[in-house]
Chains A and B, each alone.
Chain A
Amino acid sequence: MASIRHSAGALLGRAHRRHYLQAYLFISPVIVLFTLFRIWPSLQTLYFSFFKVELLKGRLTYVGLQNFIDLAQDEIFRRAIANTLIYALTIVPLSAFLAMILAVLFSEHFHLRELFKAVYFAPMVTSTVAAAVVWWWLYNPQFGLFNSVLRVLHLPEQPWLLSSRMALPSVIIFSIWKTLGYNMVIYIAALQAIPAMFYEAATIDGAGPFQRFVRITLPLLAPTTTFILIYNTIFAFQVFDQVLVLTGGGPAFSTNVVVLELYTQAFQRYRFGYASAEAMVLFLFILGVTVLQYFYSRRFEVAY
């Protein structure tokens, strides 16, 4: 009896192993590519961060933690971290909040609803660089559309990208416009997954639209909100192309963000070790914030 059970178990185990082997075989091309183009460069970056790298001379000089010590004393890098934090902490909640409001509005049926949806989603499929060039013109203090509108409304014109105070908010406005469509579509999909019976039951119990939103929609959207917050945070910390096109990090470093600073150090000053250290700091930042966000957001999730 025991031997029968043993051989059956062995058979099952073999089948199980074969099953897994096949599965791994199927995903192996992706694993190989991912290792080659993601994991290996990341490990190399970590390695380089402890060296002075002279790429063309093929020379690596071990400096230990010196790159990180220099980073801690680097005013411009600290400013870039602060700018990136301000950017992320502004754009992520604002974009998520506005997207949720729009998604709720779009869940109602009205004339030209699909057209409006397409209009809001269009920035998402537009190249960031191309869109940023257009916005650079919109922000032009003299000929730009924004100041023309302000002029018509008899409101004070703004220097937008030309001022250290206004440049980062201007980049943030652009980024919200760019990310809103994607977040909205995710929320619309999540709203459609909420069973109608919850709302029907709440209506019978006398709940108004606001109560239904707060008591049903908001809690049931929590997993989606978690996803959107984490996803947007990761990308917000990696902001680069719109800053490069709109301001180049200026005026006076007021929009200099971590990835732009990293790019400058690596490809304009050829300090690859230092830039690698910056990349590691950014990685740890994103990892920390993501983990925090994940555990904190889960507290608000509910299941009916």
Chain B
Amino acid sequence: MSRSRTSVLLVAVLSLAIGLPGVSAQAQPTLTLWYPAGEITQTTLPLRDPTLFAPFEATAKVKVEMVALDYDTMQQKIFAAAAARNVPDILFIDTSWMPGFLKEELLEQVDPAKAKRWLAAVTPEIVELSDYGKGTMWGYPQMGIDVYGLTWNKQHFKEAGLDPERPPRTWDELREYCRKLVRRDATGKIVRVGYAIRHVGHPHGVVHKHLWAIWGAGADLIDDPNALRGGRVKFNNEGGRAALQLVLDMLNVDKCTSLDFPDPRAAFLKGIASMQISETVSIRARQPKEAPDMPWPTGWGMALPPARKAGDRPATLLGAWLFSVPRGAKNRDLAWRAVEWVNSEINDYNFARKYGLTPRYKSNWQKEPFKSDAYAQALLKMAPYGRRLPINLGLNGIMDALGGAIQKAWHGEATVQQALAEAERLANKAIADAAK
């Protein structure tokens, strides 16, 4: 009798022990969101802010746990987690990872009806970043326009007798300004470049910072930016050669830039480069700390990269991070709700205002402070000229090959023709391999 009572009691205790966590877990599930930590996402929605999802958590009875990862290894960690069937519910991902993720069918597609509404409501550059062909969306792009642009040091312009409010608008002007801005020491060594170039480090970065010239000259990374498989590269042509030659001329003919200046942004903020082209948001974020005596807009200016010649349409790169939901997310529906909440029209406005970002909805651009914010408006003027990276599965190979070609040509290890011909061969092989 007592033994049976003990057994019943034991079973009851065990049931409670096993069941209680399940009950509490059902009461408040946890959504996990992975994002890259550090400077790389400094100019996007601050996911490091633990209160960010507080209103959503309160209404949806859910806990959103935001996990910061190292950018360099994040892609691999996402993949490993997916392979282990333990993928987080929400991912904040770099669009350059998209091809690989799509190849492995790692991402959920945004509901077509919601995608249609989104594309109708946001500004053109956000449409460019969102639409992966025929209205297909794999996530919602960040708030905060990440457009590559020319930044220049206005003090240097004044010293060189140039109008500090008028940046170079054509390639010829860029070279002319570069020659006027370069400074040398008594031995003739360049101590300040007129225009800083990115020529080292990861080849993708080298390509990113020169795409304005490649696109601006009519060349391209690939013939169809929305094709996942197949295609051919389009940079080994007159435009591509001209784009590489432009910098070579600045290096060897004008002698106004140098290969001894590793990072254009760092050089610009240190005051040893007068002009550079890269992520404008990065300069905006870093300048107050790294170059406090060069404030926006009196200390430095920002504009579209120069066009090849007067009358040509300039082109530039649009970077973006995406809020996406991976296949296999444990709390799929809740994850989508959280993503849609962050990207709703009202939160687009609230967060952009609160964190000093630019909004994405057309309606929000009609409201203050964005309507009369000089910096935000300057970004908005540049954004329509921006393009995103193609989606092709061979993108990594294309970027590696082209980045290598740029480095070889600028370092004088191959002619422009040789470098681009080799890159074309390698990149087309990468496209073919990726499509297998």
Residues of A within 8 A of B (CB): 52, 54-57, 70, 74-76, 140-142, 157, 159, 161-165, 248, 250-253, 264, 267-271, 274
Report yes or no: B436 in contact with A142, Cβ–Cβ below 8 A.
no
CA distance A70 to B404 in the complex (A): 21
CA distance A270 to B75 in the complex (A): 11
Report yes or no: A159 in contact with B259, Cβ–Cβ below 8 A.
yes
Report yes or no: B201 in contact with A165, Cβ–Cβ below 8 A.
no
| Chain B window 82-95, contacts with chain A (Cβ cutoff 8 Å), 1 for yes, 0 for no | 11000000000000
CA distance A56 to B101 in the complex (A): 10
Verify if B396 is at the interface (C-beta below 8 Å from A). Answer: yes
Report yes or no: B260 in contact with A56, Cβ–Cβ below 8 A.
no
Report yes or no: A56 in contact with B83, Cβ–Cβ below 8 A.
yes
Q: A142-B272, A252-B203 are in contact. List 8 more A-B contacts (CB 8 A).
A: A55-B79, A56-B105, A76-B426, A162-B200, A163-B411, A248-B202, A267-B75, A269-B100
Taking a contact as CB atoms closer than 8 A, the residue among B261, B407, B433, B436 that contacts A251 in the complex is B407
Report yes or no: A251 in contact with B396, Cβ–Cβ below 8 A.
no
Verify if B397 is at the interface (C-beta below 8 Å from A). Answer: yes
Verify if B104 is at the interface (C-beta below 8 Å from A). Answer: yes
Q: Which residue of A lies closest to B394 (CB)?
A: A269
Taking a contact as CB atoms closer than 8 A, the residue among A75, A140, A264, A270 that contacts B79 in the complex is A270
Taking a contact as CB atoms closer than 8 A, the residue among B201, B407, B429, B436 that contacts A164 in the complex is B407
A and B contact pairs by CB, cutoff 8 A, 21 listed: A52-B436, A55-B104, A56-B83, A56-B105, A70-B433, A140-B262, A141-B260, A159-B411, A162-B199, A162-B262, A164-B408, A164-B413, A250-B200, A250-B202, A250-B203, A250-B404, A252-B403, A252-B407, A267-B76, A267-B79, A268-B75
With A56-B82, A76-B426, A140-B262 known as contacts, the answer to whether A252 contacts B408 (CB < 8 A) is: yes
A281 → B minimal CB distance (Å): 17
By secondary structure, the B interface counts as helix
Taking a contact as CB atoms closer than 8 A, the residue among B82, B100, B403, B436 that contacts A268 in the complex is B100
Contact partners of B203 in chain A: CB under 8 A: 248, 250, 252
Verify if B337 is at the interface (C-beta below 8 Å from A). Answer: no
A66 → B minimal CB distance (Å): 9
Report yes or no: B75 in contact with A251, Cβ–Cβ below 8 A.
no
Report yes or no: B396 in contact with A268, Cβ–Cβ below 8 A.
yes
Interface size on B, residues (CB 8 A): 36
Contact partners of A161 in chain B: CB under 8 A: 200
CA distance A54 to B436 in the complex (A): 11
Q: Which residue of A lies closest to B261 (CB)?
A: A142
By secondary structure, the A interface counts as loop
CA distance A269 to B396 in the complex (A): 7
A49 → B minimal CB distance (Å): 15
CA distance A55 to B272 in the complex (A): 48
With A250-B203, A252-B404, A270-B100 known as contacts, the answer to whether A164 contacts B83 (CB < 8 A) is: no
CA distance A165 to B407 in the complex (A): 12
Report yes or no: A271 in contact with B262, Cβ–Cβ below 8 A.
no
Report yes or no: B396 in contact with A142, Cβ–Cβ below 8 A.
no
A95 → B minimal CB distance (Å): 27
Report yes or no: A251 in contact with B404, Cβ–Cβ below 8 A.
yes
Q: Which residue of B lies closest to A164 (CB)?
A: B413
Give the interface centre of B397, B403, B404 by most chain A CB atoms within 10 Å.
B404
CA distance A141 to B263 in the complex (A): 12
Q: Which residue of B lies closest to A136 (CB)?
A: B262
Give the interface centre of A157, A163, A251 by most chain B CB atoms within 10 Å.
A251
With A56-B104, A269-B434, A270-B100 known as contacts, the answer to whether A250 contacts B403 (CB < 8 A) is: yes
With A142-B261, A250-B203 known as contacts, the answer to whether A270 contacts B103 (CB < 8 A) is: yes
Contact partners of B404 in chain A: CB under 8 A: 250-253
CA distance A70 to B199 in the complex (A): 30
Contact partners of A274 in chain B: CB under 8 A: 433
| Chain B window 301-318, contacts with chain A (Cβ cutoff 8 Å), 1 for yes, 0 for no | 000000000000000000
Q: Which residue of B lies closest to A244 (CB)?
A: B72
CA distance A74 to B408 in the complex (A): 19
From residue 392 to 436 of chain B, which have CB atoms closer than 8 A to chain A?
396-397, 400, 403-405, 407-408, 411, 413, 425-426, 429, 433-434, 436
Verify if B106 is at the interface (C-beta below 8 Å from A). Answer: yes
CA distance A271 to B104 in the complex (A): 10
Contact partners of A253 in chain B: CB under 8 A: 400, 404
CA distance A165 to B259 in the complex (A): 14
Contact partners of A57 in chain B: CB under 8 A: 104-105
With A75-B426, A253-B404 known as contacts, the answer to whether A162 contacts B259 (CB < 8 A) is: yes
